[in-house]
Each structure stands twice: as C-alpha cells, then as structure tokens.
C-alpha cells in the first residue's frame, strides 16, 4: 500500500489543490535612485502592475511627509541604482524603511564593462540599507523580478 506521502505528492493529487487566490496584491514601491535608473523605472511605470508604484528618489526625499506616507504603506521597497553612482538619497529612504520595518531590495544595474571598483562604490552606498542586494547586467531583470514578486 502506498504511503500518504507517496499518494499525496503524485501528479493526479496535484489536480485537487485549491485554486482560489492565496494572496492579496502587495504594495511595492519602486524608486529610481539616480539619473541612470530614472528612464528604466519610468519605462516600467508604463506597464500594467498589481499595485506597484514608481518614483524618483527626488520625488520622495523632497517631501518628507510624502516619503513617510509612501513607505509606511509599502510591503516592499525596491531601489534601483546605476553602477558607479553614489546616490545620497538612499540613506534617507533606507532610514525611513528601517524605522517602519519595511523590507528593502536594492538593484544595481551594470554591464560587462563595469569595473569592480566602480560597482563597489554603489554597493557600499546601498549595502547598509538593503536586506537584499542584486547586481544585474540587464535592466529586463527588474521587470522579471517585479513580476516574480507579483508587484
């Protein structure tokens, strides 16, 4: 006789998994930290999302009340930077996320020509504020990541 584990992990039993949604849309805030990342984030903002909102760092840091409001309503804050840049705003945004216990992810865009030294500058700036840092060689990764996270 087959064990429960054997029977329940079969393909035929998979058909009986409950099909109703198992999550509600989450609030993801995507923030371009520098001039290089702004067009990438602006381009993403044009697409259809499940509630993701897109900003430039200047949008938020120039208005502390708005920054607090947006961050406190977020489930996840994704900050996008370009390798070689050293965006100062990350500290303000990161601190706000830290105070409100909002998870942060940093994405650094680079290409094959980016040297480790250049990359280090940006990583060093972002690292204190990120729970997850990703270095991606193509900007289409950001879209894939947001889709994977149901943003």
Partner 1 sequence: MLKKEQNDLLTHTGPGAPMGQLFRRSWLPALLAEELPEAECAPVRVKLLSERLLAWRDTEGRYALTDEFCAHRGVSLWFGRNEEHGLRCSYHGWKYDHTGQCVEVPSEPAESGFCGKIKLASYPLVERGGVLWAYMGPPELQPPLPEWEFATVPSDRRFVSKRLQESNWMQALEGAIDSSHVSFLHRGELNTDPLFKGSKGNRYNLDDARPVFEVVESPGGLYIGARRNAEHGNYYWRVTQWVMPSFTMIPPRGDHPVHGHFFIPIDDEQCWTWSFDYKVMRPLAEQELESLRAGKGIHVACVPGTFRPRANKDNDYLMDRAAQKRGETFSGVHGFGMQDASVQESMGPIVDRTKENLVSTDNGIIMARHRLLRSVKAMLDKDVTPPGIDPVHQRCRSASVVLPPDQPFKDAAKAALVVQDDHEHVTV
- How is 67-130 classified by DSSP, letter by letter? HHHHHHT-SEEEEEEETT---THHHHHHHHHHHHT-EEEEEEE--TT--HHHHHHHHHHHGGG-
* Contact pick of 10, 72, 86, 100 for partner 1 (by CB under 8 A): 10
Task: Copy the structure tokens of residue 100.
Answer: 């409100």
Whether 41 contacts 56, CB under 8 Å: yes
Q: Can residue 13 be called a binding residue for partner 1 (CB under 8 A)? A: yes
Q: Can residue 25 be called a binding residue for partner 1 (CB under 8 A)? A: no
| CB of residue 150 to partner 1, shortest distance in Å | 5
Residues in 120-139 at the binding interface with partner 1, rule: CB under 8 A: 120, 123-124, 127, 130-138
Site residues for partner 1 per CB under 8 A: 2-6, 8-11, 13-14, 17, 22-23, 76, 103-105, 116-117, 119-120, 123-124, 127, 130-138, 140-141, 144-145, 147-150
């Amino acid at each position: 006789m087959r064990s429960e584990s054997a029977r329940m992990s079969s393909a035929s039993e998979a058909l009986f998994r409950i099909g109703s949604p198992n999550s509600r849309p989450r609030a993801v805030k995507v923030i371009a930290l520098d001039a290089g990342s702004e067009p990438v984030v602006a381009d993403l903002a044009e697409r259809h999302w499940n509630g993701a909102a897109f900003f430039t760092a200047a949008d938020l840091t120039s208005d502390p009340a708005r920054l607090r409001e947006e961050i406190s309503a977020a489930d996840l804050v994704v900050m996008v930077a370009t390798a070689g840049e050293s965006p100062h705003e990350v500290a303000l945004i990161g601190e706000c996320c830290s105070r409100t216990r909002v998870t942060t992810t940093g994405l650094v865009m680079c290409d094959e020509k980016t040297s480790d030294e250049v990359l280090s500058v940006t990583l060093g700036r972002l690292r204190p504020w990120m729970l997850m840092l990703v270095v991606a060689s193509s900007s289409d990764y950001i879209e894939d990541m947001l889709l994977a996270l149901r943003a």
